Amino acid sequence: MKASDTRKLGRTGLDVTVASYGGGSLGNFFRVLSNADANAILHAAWEGGLRYFDTAPYYGRGKSERRTGAFLSEKPRDQFVLSTKVGRLLDPAGDALEEDGIFLDPSPFNARWDYSYDAVMRSHEASLQRLGLDRVDILYVHDIGARLHGDAAGAQLRTLQNGGLKALEELRASGAIRGYGLGVTEVSVCLDCLDYGDPDAFLLAGRYSLLDRDEAKPLLDACLDRQVALVIGGVFASGILATGAVPDARYDYAPAPPEVLDRVRAMEAVCQRHGISLAAAALQFPLAHPAVASVLIGAGTLRSLEAGIAGIETEIPPAFWDELENAGG
C-alpha cells in the first residue's frame, strides 16, 4: 500500500490517508524541537503523502497546535483532514509554570481538566485561534477514563455526559466540525461511549498492536457494526516493536517484562526469515482490520518519519502474516 492511500473516516464523509501524522512530538514530547525542525518534519510528512494530521492543546501547552497550524495554513484547506482535542483548558501560567517532564520547554500555560459544555466550546475556539485556521474536522475528547483520572473518573465522565457531549453534538450539527469521538488509551471507555454517545471515530493509542490484540477486539467489532472509524496510535507498544527485544526495551511505558521480550524475539525471528522489519509489521498490522482508517506516525525526527512511511509502504506477503500468527505474534 501507499501512505497516501485513503479510507473513509466512519460516517463523516471524510477520507483520511492510511498513514497520518500524530503531533505529540511537535509539542516537544521528551525531545525539544526548534520551529524549523518541526516545520521540516511536517513538510516531509506532506511530501510523503500524509494528509491527516492530529494534534492537541496539551501537546506542549499549545505548541503543537501552533506549529501544525502554521504549516497547514499554507496548504489548500480541502486537501487535508485535521483533528484536535478537548478536555483540557490552558491558563496563563505567570510565575507558576508546571513542568510535567513529558513535554519539554512548554509554552507558558498550565493545563486543567474540564469536560463541561462551556469548556468544550472554549477549547474549540481557542484551538482555532492557535491553529490560525477557520475549522477543524474532528474533535476528540482527550484522556477521559480511569487511567489518568483514577477515583475521579466517574465524576469527570458525568461532566462530559451532562455537558461536553452536548457541545460536541451541537458543533457537529452546525457543521463547525465533521465528527467527534474520544482520544484515549482505554478500550472500555470507547465501548461505553458507543452506549451514551453517537461518536464518529476513536483515536486509540497503545491498545491495538502486534502485542495487544484481544482487548480491542470487541471494540473493533462494535465499530465496524456502527460504522465508527478507528485511528490507531502507539503501534510500537511504547517502543519495543520498533527497537526489538534489546536491553532496556520499553513496553507500555515501562521496561518490557521477560514474557514480552520472548514474544518479540519470536516475532523478530519470523521477520528475519522473510526479510521484513518488525517496525513495518507493527505499522501495517492494525490496517488489516476494516474498522481501522489510519495509523498515526508520531515521529520526532525526519529519519523516524521516513522510516515510518517506508514501513507502511513495505510489501508484506500473506505468508508472513500466517507464520507470524503461528509463532504467537
List the chain pLDDT tens, one digit each, 329 residues.
999 999 999 999 999 999 999 999 999 999 999 999 999 999 999 999 999 999 999 999 999 999 999 999 999 999 999 999 999 999 999 999 998 999 999 999 999 999 999 999 999 999 999 999 999 999 999 999 999 999 999 999 999 999 999 999 999 999 999 999 999 999 999 999 999 999 999 999 999 999 999 999 999 999 999 999 999 999 999 999 999 999 999 998 899 999 999 999 999 999 999 999 999 999 999 999 999 999 999 999 999 999 999 999 999 999 999 999 876 56
- Cβ–Cβ under 8 Å, residues 106 and 59: no
Residue 164: its pLDDT value, please? 98
Q: Is the pTM of this model over 0.75?
A: yes
Active site (annotated) includes residue 217 = no
CA 225 to chain centre: 22
Residue 325: its pLDDT value, please? 85
**Is residue 165 situated within a structural domain?**
yes
Residue 281: its pLDDT value, please? 98
**Is residue 320 situated within a structural domain?**
yes
**Is residue 169 situated within a structural domain?**
yes
Q: Give the chain's domain count.
A: 1
284: containing domain: 6-326
Name the CA dihedral angle for 199, 150, 64, 42, rounded to a multiple of 10 degrees: -60
Whichever domain contains 95, its CATH number is: 3.20.20.100
Q: Supply the DSSP symbol for 238.
A: G
Active site (annotated) includes residue 85 = yes
Active site (annotated) includes residue 151 = no
Q: C-alpha cell of 176?
A: 463547525
Residue 253: its pLDDT value, please? 85
Residue 98: its pLDDT value, please? 93
Active-site residue (options: 21, 52, 54, 251): 54
Q: Which residue type sits at 53?
A: F
Residue pointed to by grid coordinates 467489532: 221
**Is residue 1 situated within a structural domain?**
no
- Least Cα distance to 21 among 304, 297, 307, 295 occurs for 297
Active-site residue (options: 52, 58, 85, 180): 85
- Least Cα distance to 291 among 177, 200, 211 occurs for 200
Active-site residue (options: 52, 58, 59, 180): 59
- Least Cα distance to 223 among 256, 201, 253 occurs for 201
